[in-house]
């Protein structure tokens, strides 16, 4: 039998509870999330007014910052480093070794953020003319 995602999910769905991962401590934490200004209805979304500063901003910057930053080769690096026809694969082999020996999980351990300087980055973004900045940090 060939194991596919569909087969694996079907097997896991019928597996005994002992095979399922245990709850992490983070799942035991009860967080109170403050209610925001929207209730999720289409009507309320239609009433939304774009802030004037955003309408006039014209240019902003976005950064996805996480373990893929180790390789400094884009958001899709974790996928492309395993595909032999992709430039990221060749680069990964040259810089870190074969992905079977040094994979994405190993890059995650290398990401320490010890030289992160947000003040310097924001100054660069402002100098480039950005009127807003958005970030997504992943681990």
**Average pLDDT per run of 10 along the chain, which is 139 residues long?**
54 46 52 78 88 86 80 86 95 95 91 83 91 78
pLDDT at 65: 76
Q: How many CB atoms lie under 10 A from the CB of residue 83? A: 12
Q: What's the total number of domains in the chain? A: 2
Distance (Å, whole) CA 120 – CA 139: 22
76 domain-assigned: yes
85 domain-assigned: yes
* Residue 44 vs residues 47, 48, 138: alpha-carbon distances, Å: 5, 6, 30
Q: Note down the domain range covering 129.
A: 49-66+112-139
pLDDT at 31: 67
pTM above 0.85, yes or no: no
Find, among 66, 70, 89, the residue nearest to 79 by Cα. 89
Distance (Å, whole) CA 64 – CA 75: 7
pLDDT at 4: 58
């Amino acid at each position: 039998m060939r194991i596919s995602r569909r087969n694996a999910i079907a097997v896991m769905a019928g597996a005994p509870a002992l095979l399922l991962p245990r709850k992490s401590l983070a799942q035991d934490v009860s967080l109170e999330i403050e209610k925001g200004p929207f209730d999720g209805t289409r009507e309320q979304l239609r009433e939304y007014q774009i802030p004037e500063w955003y309408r006039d901003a014209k240019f902003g910057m976005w950064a996805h910052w996480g373990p893929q930053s180790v390789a400094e080769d884009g958001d899709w690096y974790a996928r492309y480093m395993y595909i032999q026809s992709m430039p990221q694969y060749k680069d990964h082999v040259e810089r870190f070794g074969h992905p079977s020996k040094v994979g994405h999980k190993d890059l995650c351990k290398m990401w320490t953020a010890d030289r992160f300087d947000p003040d310097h980055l924001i100054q660069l973004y402002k100098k480039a003319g950005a009127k807003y900045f958005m970030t997504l940090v992943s681990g």
